[in-house]
Amino acid sequence: MCGIAGLVVAPGQAAPSPELGRRMNAVIHHRGPDDEGLHSDERALLGMRRLSIIDVEGGHQPLYGADRQVCLVFNGEIYNFRELRQELEKDGHVFGTHSDTEVILQAYLRDGVEAFAKLDGMFGIAIWDKRTQELILARDRFGEKPLYYSVDPQRLLFGSELKSLLQSADCPRAVDSDALRAYLAYGYVPAPSSIFRGVSKLPPAHYLRYRDGQVSLHRYWRPSLAHKTALSEAEASERLEELLDRAVASRLVSDVPFGAFLSGGLDSSTVVALMARHLAQPVKTFTIGFKEAAYSELDDARRVANHLGTEHHELVVEPDAVSLLEKLVWHFDEPFADSSAVPTFLVSELAGKHVKMVLTGDGGDEMFGGYDRYLRLMKLERLGSLRRPAAGLLTAAGAVLPNPYGERLSRVGERLRLPFQERYLSGVAVMRADIAQRLRAQAGGSDHFDLPALREAGSDLGAGDSPLDRAVAIDLQSYLPDDILVKLDRMAMAASLEGRSPFLQPDLVDFALSLPESYRVRDGRGKHLLREVAAKWLPPRAISKPKQGFAIPLEQWLRGPLRDLAADTFASRCFRERGLIDPQAASALLDEHVSARVDRSEALWQTLCLELWAQRFLNATAPRAH
């Protein structure tokens, strides 16, 4: 697990400055405090920071081919590197280290860009190939590891984090209005955009070629929901158990201490149960809770930990919300308003005191139909041709009922009028169109829930007519890589901790996506087959526990410890003059929330995160290490 950064100049340009490469490296020290390296020549800088997990002594980067014509830096882990190494050795490749990094290099030397599709792992890869004078960037299938880039006629900049690119004085810094619109809808900036016009994210499952000053993008893998298994439920259960066990086992390869996040919910508990089957010593598990009982999962996590005999670590936190928010803004680089980042950061800090790597349950909801919004969508879709009249009735009822009931009915009515993609995305969104338009006149409107990137990429993926499959296809291309996995990567890396997600093992994903709807959702509840399998290992409460989510008492915080920060921020001269948000509208939302007439906490949190990000990244020429 590392961070990478660098640049390649176009032919005929002056050689890049090694000092710039050192600055790009230094600003992501938290991603790899154990080691660093830098390659420099007349056209290329490739830098890396290393968190040593595999081959601690021999895994230094950059890594070179035998003739030093190919140079590679890599962020991530390759879980099938031993199998690939055996295959490469049979073909005559000689290895000088035991690292997964060298397996990538040797696979590239043999197969070129075809090597990326053979990797089971999470990765951001940069390869400078002097033989062809081209830079290759590659990102893993699901976007577990980040990779930004910016290209102009003189050079291409790249890095695991945006702050590395910003060390270059000519990196674009103009806010992208479309990205800002999407942020106000969803609380994150969807790929391939970034918050800055002229800086892009390499999409998951893609590689990039930069040659002779020109960029081309290529997709090397695509998930598919088209094929459905013919296995009986009993056969499918047996196959799922086998694949889950194999996925967890593959992610236990490590030369350093490791553990797991444990919430007491189905996904993380399943991962811990399978870890326990493969380890001679108790699994180290970590959970945090808040003093507000409704937001604490400590009892559920403790119950599972006792059942599985783990070495359990827990902490009840009363965080300094103001200073914590400033830390999160620094590590996310872009405006990011998923408030569950707070407990993710805190549990990462707790785990980081004991281990260097953790397994998580991320991806389980997408693979097995676990989100409540999937269930709500399926109910709405059953209305068929009755959707339009139902929308009218709900809107009329919402107009006469008091808040918050009236607002809820009006929102459902609004959703029923939208095309399918926007209808589903309206359930993913965290800000309503009318609220967005109050805060920013250019936002909201008829395209509030539209994500152009999904239109361009094609959100079908063979989903057919199944509402569940169509929703999962959208999440695989946006919510999972741009929210869930961004949150895990940045918050774990903020604590110099590696997070691994067994539910994203490719064979397991292929099988999960092949399950018919009835194997995933049954009797009004998601994850049916996963629950049936996990019942062999877990206490009944972990199987039946309703989905809680990693939430924080945001509504209370914005009437308490965050209230003054929000009021001062919205009243400040910088906020007024910046012009990203209407200051009077923001203050009005805060007044509405504080009066307890209505909950505006999500919109206020988004606005606050946006302005604190702007103070950190727009007011400074180049951000320095936090």
Catalytic residues: 2
Helix axes 341-352, 321-332, angle to 10 degrees: 90
Task: Please answer whether residues 265 and 545 qualify as being in contact, where contact means their C-beta atoms are separated by less than 8 angstroms.
Answer: yes
Residue 149 CA to residue 124 CA, distance in Å, equals 12
Q: How far is the C-alpha of 422 from the C-alpha of 444, rounded, in Å?
A: 13
DSSP for 486-544 reads HHHHHHHHHTT-EEE-GGG-HHHHHHHHHS-HHHH-BTTBS-HHHHHHHTTTS-HHHHH
Tokens linked to 479? 């919510």
Cis? peptide before 404, omega within 30° of 0: yes
Closest CA to 81 of 220, 253, 274: 253
Q: What angle do CA 341, 347, 350 make, to 5 degrees?
A: 140
Instruction: For residues 209 and 134, give the distance between their C-alpha atoms in angstroms, rounded to a whole number.
Output: 7
Task: Name the β-bridge partners of 8.
Answer: 44, 156
Residue 64: closest CA among 32, 105, 121, 99: 105
Pair of tokens at residue 108: 């590239």
Return the beta strands (E) in 79-186 as ranges.
Answer: 121-129, 134-139, 148-151, 155-159
CA dist., res. 53 & res. 509, Å (int): 25
On whether the CB atoms of residues 322 and 342 are closer than 8 A, the answer is: no
Angle at 359 between CA 83 and CA 333, to 5 degrees: 105
Tokens representing 56? 């601690």
* DSSP conformational letter for 484: I
What letter does residue 152 receive in the DSSP assignment?
Answer: -
Residue among 134, 130, 8, 7 nearest 69 (CA): 130
With CA atoms as reference, report the closest residue to 534 among 503, 564, 576: 503
R_g of the chain computed on alpha carbons? 24
Of the candidates 189, 217, 17, 267, the one whose C-alpha atom is nearest the C-alpha of residue 116 is: 217
What does the CA dihedral 194, 197, 200, 203 come to, rounded to 10 degrees?
A: 60
Q: Which two tokens stand for residue 52?
A: 């040593």
Pairing of strands 498-500, 357-359: parallel
Tokens found for residue 504: 């994203």
According to DSSP, the residues that pair with 77 across neighbouring strands are 122
User: How many Cβ atoms are within 10 Å of 568's Cβ, its own excluded?
Assistant: 10
The dihedral sign for the CA sequence 536, 539, 543, 547: negative
